[in-house]
Amino acid sequence: MIIHKSKYGYDIHAPALPGCHSQGATEKEALKNIQDAILTYLEMEKDELKGAEAREIEVAFACSG
């Protein structure tokens, strides 16, 4: 989690989940709110990916130089 304190309270982001962020008046409240946001995010992803197939691939990076 990325937590940023501002004059309005705390902003908190989950970098691994694009667009998943929340806030709170206190750090404790912001952490509670991000938990709810993460659960909602994952529930939405589950619905969107229903019936989808997941595969792993290997990616190699070659650097010339």
The whole-chain average pLDDT of the chain stands at 89
| DSSP letter (8 states) at residue 15 | T
Q: Does the pTM of the predicted model rise above 0.75?
A: no
The closest of 39, 16, 36 to 24, measured between CA atoms, is: 36
Query: In the structure, what pLDDT confidence band is assigned to residue 65 with cuts at 50, 70 and 90?
Result: low
Q: Do the beta carbons of residue 13 and residue 20 sit within 8 Å?
A: yes
Percent of the chain with pLDDT over 70: 97
How many beta carbons lie within 10 A of that of residue 37, not counting itself? 19
